[in-house]
């Protein structure tokens, strides 16, 4: 057992909506004792149903030794849930005042050294930790739905969060098979949600302006960019669209388009400094793998992915009208 395993034995989940339940399923599958609290009527039954639904996928991903759905306890008060926990995951609705109130209670009843992670999609940690007695052990730990399958968790500390807490949290989330992405600059929406939100708002504009239906937007992503982003993300994907010279050529060719009204979002100035950051970032991500090898890997991936899409959601075929 590693040190980190010894330090985190009991986990508390506060708020059991879609995200809270996702955490519970992941924690249980990773072999932890979980205590949950949610004041909503019928919350426990809903959670147990969600965990049962998720379990077959979790088995396929691989359960930790000792993992059991029986190791979940619902308790009637927040105090009971957090008083004995080593890590508390907060998942109440995305309203600043509500979150601050709940976090104040967690802070009050938790052990002083327990780590508090908030699943907030967009509120900055410095805002949420204001007024806590022990703000140093608070951080944003923002996951993605379904939490029990998707590996990404964004970790963002506030001004009062210690580096030691961020480091320890990263080790813990990694231990439970996640990819902790530490974000060093606080910003509304953190990182992933800013990207998602930009696309989401543009999509809402397109629907609002009568350019497309939601189904056409879904089709435009499913059969195009969505397939590529899953493997390499937006930057490395464009690195491959530039041919042999990669991102350098891509920026030469499409840089001028940043001035065009191709979205309602204004682009930053494509300065030499920004260009070099982008080019070098792509070259570093690609590592020693040549563009031609990258293309081969991408192609093989896409051929298999198209089969998967067809296997699990052939209904998208109906999105493209004849």
Q: CA-to-CA distance for 173 and 298, rounded, in angstroms?
A: 29
Q: CA-to-CA distance for 254 and 69, rounded, in angstroms?
A: 51
Residues 6+ away with beta carbon under 8 Å from 6:
none
Which listed range, 32-40, 69-77, 101-109, 201-209, lies at the site for a copy of itself (CB under 8 A)?
Answer: 201-209
DSSP code at position 49: H
Q: Which two tokens stand for residue 34?
A: 């979980």
| Minimum separation from the CB atom of position 108 to a copy of itself (A) | 27
Q: Is 92 exposed, middle or buried (0-12, 13-18, 19+ CB in 10 A)?
A: buried
| Minimum separation from the CB atom of position 53 to a copy of itself (A) | 6
DSSP code at position 266: P
291 annotated as ligand-binding = no
Q: Give the x-and-dash track for 169-198 against a copy of itself (CB under 8 A).
A: -x--------xxxxx-x-xxx-xxxxxxxx
Should residue 234 be labelled a site residue for a copy of itself when binding is judged by CB under 8 A? yes
24 annotated as ligand-binding = no
Quickly count: other Cβ atoms within 10 Å of residue 234's Cβ. 11
Should residue 226 be labelled a site residue for a copy of itself when binding is judged by CB under 8 A? yes
Q: Which of 11, 60, 6 is nearest to 34 (CA)?
A: 11
Should residue 52 be labelled a site residue for a copy of itself when binding is judged by CB under 8 A? no
Q: Which of 176, 140, 9 is nearest to 85 (CA)?
A: 9
4 annotated as ligand-binding = no
Q: Give the x-and-dash track for 143-162 against a copy of itself (CB under 8 A).
A: -xxx--xxxx-x--------
19 annotated as ligand-binding = yes
Size of the site for a copy of itself (CB under 8 A): 134
Sheet hosting strand 138-143, strand order edge to edge: 72-74, 33-37, 10-14, 87-90, 115-118, 138-143, 152-157, 179-183
State which residue, 109 or 238, has the beta carbon closest to a copy of itself.
238
Which listed range, 63-71, 79-87, 109-117, 306-314, lies at the site for a copy of itself (CB under 8 A)?
Answer: 306-314
State which residue, 110 or 155, has the beta carbon closest to a copy of itself.
155
- Of 256-295, binders to a copy of itself (CB under 8 A) are 256-258, 260-268, 270-271, 274, 277-278, 281-282, 284-287, 289, 292, 295
State which residue, 135 or 143, has the beta carbon closest to a copy of itself.
143
Contact 134, 125 (CB under 8 A): no
- Of 77-106, binders to a copy of itself (CB under 8 A) are 93-95
Q: Which of 4, 7, 17, 75 binds a copy of itself (CB under 8 A)?
A: 17
Should residue 42 be labelled a site residue for a copy of itself when binding is judged by CB under 8 A? no
Should residue 57 be labelled a site residue for a copy of itself when binding is judged by CB under 8 A? yes
17 annotated as ligand-binding = yes
Give 95-161 as a DSSP string.
-HHHHHHHHHHHHHHS-TT-EEEE--SS--HHHHHTT-SSGGGEEEEEE-SSTTT--EEEEEE-TT-
Using alpha carbons, list the distances in angstroms from residue 269 to 152, 163, 259, 272: 30, 33, 9, 9
| Minimum separation from the CB atom of position 62 to a copy of itself (A) | 10
As annotated, the binding site includes 15-20
């Amino acid at each position: 057992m590693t040190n980190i395993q010894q330090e985190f034995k009991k986990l508390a989940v506060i708020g059991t909506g879609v995200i809270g339940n996702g955490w519970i399923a992941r924690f249980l599958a990773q072999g932890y004792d979980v205590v949950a609290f949610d004041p909503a009527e019928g919350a426990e039954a809903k959670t147990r149903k969600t965990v049962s639904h998720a379990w077959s996928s979790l088995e396929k991903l691989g359960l930790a030794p000792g993992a059991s759905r029986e190791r979940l306890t619902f308790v009637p008060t927040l105090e009971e849930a957090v008083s004995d926990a080593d890590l508390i995951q907060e998942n109440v609705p995305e309203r600043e005042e509500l979150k601050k109130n709940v976090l104040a209670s967690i802070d009050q009843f938790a052990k002083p050294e327990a780590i508090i992670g908030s699943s907030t999609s967009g509120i900055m940690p410095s805002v949420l930790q204001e007024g806590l007695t022990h703000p140093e052990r608070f951080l944003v730990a923002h996951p993605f739905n379904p939490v029990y399958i998707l590996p990404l968790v964004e970790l963002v500390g506030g001004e009062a969060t210690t580096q030691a807490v961020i480091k320890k949290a990263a080790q813990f989330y990694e231990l439970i098979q996640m990819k902790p992405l530490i974000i060093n600059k606080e910003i509304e929406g953190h990182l992933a949600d800013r990207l998602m939100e930009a696309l989401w708002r543009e999509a809402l504009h397109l629907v609002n302006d009568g350019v497309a239906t939601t189904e056409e937007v879904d089709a435009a992503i499913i059969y195009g960019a969505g397939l590529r982003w899953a493997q390499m993300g937006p930057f490395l994907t464009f690195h491959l669209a530039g041919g042999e010279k990669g991102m350098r050529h891509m920026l030469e060719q499409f840089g001028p388009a940043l001035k065009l009204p191709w979205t309602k979002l204004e682009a930053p100035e494509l300065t030499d400094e920004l260009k070099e950051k982008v080019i070098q970032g792509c070259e570093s991500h690609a590592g020693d793998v040549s563009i031609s090898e990258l293309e081969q890997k991408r192609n093989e991936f896409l051929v298999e992915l198209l089969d998967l899409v067809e296997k699990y959601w052939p209904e998208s075929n109906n999105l493209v009208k004849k």
